[in-house]
């Protein structure tokens, strides 16, 4: 059961630090926390002592916003790790950290955000993190959901539909279903124009609609959502306009 939900305006970053020097991890963690406090950001920090350790977790759940990668590590260095990451994730922001400039030009190959030289100056780190936040604000909106003392970032586009019952809302995404205590009207305002309300108890992602009839909406996952007669014209028009706009952008 989810405890709370934060709107897409909340700045929350999940940051991974991969460095085989514990002191370097402690140093970066300390300054990142100071930066977050000064910017009123919410941070989730995870530290890894090797590229292999990082990949073990990353392959299970790819939801980092920023990765700070030391280049000089053990069997797999930071640049090799970055190439592996880019095979499946083009969105995460990569920041390289090194005492050498040898790999500076290689950063372009993996679209790195920046290359910080050791010892990392706090003001340089802060400037890079400010850029990361700016990039996130331009990116896809998300919801920040807290459940069972764990905070997760849920991309809005991954939400298929939401259903209200009693004092809770059940949100179904492409990978999971969870419940939270929230008002459907408040959630509708947070999700924005991508979602429509076919029935008083539902919010549906326009991207997930396959077919609209007079009485129901059929989603791409074969789920059927009731459609009130009162809302039919409005929902059908929103569906048509959404795809007209997308077609015009091609």
Which of 109, 138, 167 terminates a domain? The answer is 138
Question: In this structure, is residue 1 part of a structural domain?
Answer: no
Residue 2 lies in a domain: no
Give the C-alpha separation, 163 to 206, whole Å: 15
Same domain, yes or no: 181 and 119: no
Element (H, E) at 44: strand 42-48
What is the per-residue pLDDT for 101?
75
Contacts of 214 (CB under 8 A, 6+ apart): 227, 229, 232
Each residue's pLDDT expressed in tens, for the chain with a length of 250 residues = 555 454 444 467 889 999 999 999 999 999 999 999 998 888 889 999 999 999 988 876 667 889 999 998 878 888 889 988 888 777 789 999 988 777 666 667 788 889 999 999 999 999 999 999 888 777 667 777 776 666 677 888 889 999 998 888 999 998 888 888 888 988 888 888 889 999 999 999 998 999 999 999 999 999 999 999 999 999 999 998 887 775 544 4
156 and 112 within one domain: no
Domain of 226, CATH number, reads 2.40.50.1020
Q: Is residue 229 part of a domain?
A: yes
Q: Quick one: pLDDT at residue 104?
A: 66
Residue 51 maps to a domain: yes
Q: Which of 106, 138, 170 is the last residue of a domain?
A: 138
Quickly list DSSP for 59-112: TT----SEEEEESS-SSS-HHHHHHHHHTT-SSSEEEEEES-STTGGGGGGGT-
Q: Which pLDDT does position 8 carry in this prediction?
A: 45
Query: Does residue 6 belong to any structural domain of this protein?
Result: no
What pLDDT score was predicted for residue 250? 41
| In-domain check, residue 164 | yes
Same-domain pairing of 160 and 196: yes
Would you call 59 exposed, middle or buried from its count of C-beta atoms within 10 A (0-12, 13-18, 19+)? exposed
User: Number of folded domains in the chain?
Assistant: 2
Model confidence, pTM: 0.58
Q: What is the pLDDT of residue 136?
A: 76
Q: Which domain holds residue 89?
A: 11-138
The CA distance from 217 to 8, in Å, is 26
């Amino acid at each position: 059961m989810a405890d709370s939900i934060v709107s897409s305006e909340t700045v929350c970053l999940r940051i991974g630090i991969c460095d085989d020097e514990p002191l370097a991890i402690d140093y970066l963690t300390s300054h990142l926390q100071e930066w977050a406090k000064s910017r009123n950001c919410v941070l989730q920090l995870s530290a890894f002592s090797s590229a292999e350790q990082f990949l073990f977790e990353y392959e299970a759940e790819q939801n980092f916003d920023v990765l700070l990668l030391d280049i000089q590590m053990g069997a797999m260095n930071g640049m090799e790790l970055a190439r592996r990451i880019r095979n499946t994730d083009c969105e995460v922001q990569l920041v390289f950290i090194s005492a050498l400039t040898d790999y500076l030009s290689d950063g372009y190959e993996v679209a790195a955000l920046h290359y910080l030289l050791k010892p990392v100056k706090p003001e340089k780190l802060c400037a890079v993190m400010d850029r990361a936040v700016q990039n996130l604000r331009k990116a896809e909106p998300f919801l920040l959901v807290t459940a069972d003392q764990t905070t997760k970032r849920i991309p809005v586009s991954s939400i298929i539909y939401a259903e209200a019952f009693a004092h809770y809302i059940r949100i179904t995404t492409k990978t999971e279903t969870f419940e939270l205590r929230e008002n459907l009207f408040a959630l509708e305002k947070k999700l924005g124009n991508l979602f429509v309300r076919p029935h008083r108890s539902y919010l549906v992602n326009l991207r997930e609609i396959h077919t609209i009839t007079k009485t129901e909406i059929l989603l791409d996952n074969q789920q059927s959502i009731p459609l009130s007669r009162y809302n039919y014209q409005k929902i059908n028009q929103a569906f048509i306009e959404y795809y007209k706009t997308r077609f015009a952008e091609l």
